[in-house]
Each structure stands twice: as structure tokens, then as C-alpha cells.
Amino acid sequence: MTKKRPHSTVILAMTADGKIADFKSNPARFGSQTDQEHLERQISLVDGVLFGSGTVHSYGTTLSITNSQLLADRQQQNKPLQPIHIVVSASGKINPNLRFFSQSIPRWLLTTTQGYHNWKNIDNQGFEKLMIYDNKIPQKIDFIQAFEKLKALGINKLAILGGGKLVASLLENNLIDEFWLTICPLILGGSTSVTPVQGIGFASNESKKLELLNVKQIDQEIFLHYRLHS
């Protein structure tokens, strides 16, 4: 059966102890050049890139495709040179002065009604499209309806780049199909350090089961590709 939503893949680099940021929530810049190339290659295969506002505030930018071969491949497939970069923010409170807003990429905002009003009061609009999907819970986004709309708008493949709270919400709604996890050779520790999946967590009998599709070691990093069991 054809899904009414995009095929979605989480792509994250993490430490050997499962952290994607340190206890100060500094951006994770511990991945190697090989990991950066892997991430860019995965982004080149999708129609849209989804990430939380915390992620874009942390990095200040998003990763656009610069590799000439990857750009040529997209052009040959009649795809836009850059996928759509979609920021998720229920509050709509995003710094309009981020370098993200000067990058040559299409930008959308996925938010709530309140978030829409917060953002539209900012002179620099910055986004080509504002998608408003309220959950029954105040200040929460209805991701199921939002994903169905993304599919209707032509986003068939979606990359999810964090953070942990967003990944947790999407897992709770069964909206993730695959994981690409790069294991980097360092330890950060810390009970408050961010992990790939935040939120309140899942009970052991409700855990999300994974199937390992591929494992590859390049120098000191390990690249794991998983599929979620439906």
C-alpha cells in the first residue's frame, strides 16, 4: 500500500555513548569529513529536509548541497538543485538574523497557529511557505496531518536531521522509516546531554524495533543503517 506520507529517514552522528550534543547543547561538530560527505549524499537523495528550531539555532545554518556530481545527479533527475529545508517550531520563535536565512535554499516553516502569529510579526519573513497544523494539545503540531500535506506537495522522501525531541515526536506518531547513525570515536557523557531520541522515552514493551540493513567502518567511524519494523 502506498503511504500517504513521505518516506522518512533520520540521519545523525553520535558519540560512542549515544550523544548528539554535549551537556551545554553545543552543536555536534565531531563527525569527520567522511561523515559530512555521507550526510550531503543522503540529503541529495531527498525532496525535503526537516529539523527543529533548536537545531538551526545551534548551528546557525543548514547543510546545502555543494558537491558538483550530486548537483548534476539531481539536475539529471529533473529535481531542484536543493531540497526544501523545513524548520519545525511550534512557537514560531526563530531568530531572523541567522545565516540560515541568507542561504540559497528553499525554506518552509512547520508551526502552529500561535507560532504563525509570532513569526508573521517579524518584518523579515524568510520562509516561502508557512504550514500550520495544530494538535488537540495546545502549542503542539499535528505531525500526521502535516506529513500527509508534505506528501501531497510532492515531498516523497524526507531527511530528518534532529533534534532529539523532534525525533521522539515522530517516533511516537510512527512517522519514521529508517535511521542512518554514524558512531564517532569519542565519549561525552552527561545525564543532560542530548541523545538521538529525547522525550519521556518508551517502556520496554513499547520499544521501537530496528532491523540492521548495513554496517560499514571507515577509519574510526561506524555507519549504521537501520529500518524500523512496522
Domains within the chain, CATH numbers bracketed: 7-228 (3.40.430.10)
pLDDT tens track for 103-119:
999 999 999 999 999 99
Closest CA to 135 of 155, 112, 151: 112
Q: Give the pLDDT of residue 184.
A: 96
HEC string of the chain equals: CCCCCCEEEEEEEEECCCCCCCCCCCCCCCCCHHHHHHHHHHHCCCCEEEEEHHHHHHHCCCCCCCCHHHHHHHHHCCCCCCCEEEEECCCCCCCCCCHHHHCCCCEEEEECHHHHHHHHCCCCCCCCEEEECECCCCCCECHHHHHHHHHHCCCCEEEECCCHHHHHHHHHCCCCCEEEEEEECCCCCCCCCCCCCCCCCCCHHHCCCEEEEEEEEECCEEEEEEEECC
Q: Give the pLDDT of residue 26.
A: 81
Q: Give the pLDDT of residue 139.
A: 80
Q: What is the residue-level pLDDT of the chain in tens, covering all 230 positions?
A: 568 999 999 999 999 999 999 888 887 788 899 999 999 999 999 999 999 999 999 999 999 999 999 999 999 999 999 999 999 999 999 999 999 999 999 999 999 999 999 998 776 579 999 999 998 877 899 999 999 999 999 999 999 998 899 999 999 999 999 999 999 999 999 888 989 899 888 888 888 999 999 999 999 999 999 999 86
Q: Give the pLDDT of residue 230.
A: 66
Calculate the alpha carbon distances from 154 to 50, 71, 84, 176 in Å. Answer: 14, 19, 11, 18
Q: Give the pLDDT of residue 121.
A: 73
Q: Give the pLDDT of residue 23.
A: 86
Q: Give the pLDDT of residue 119.
A: 92
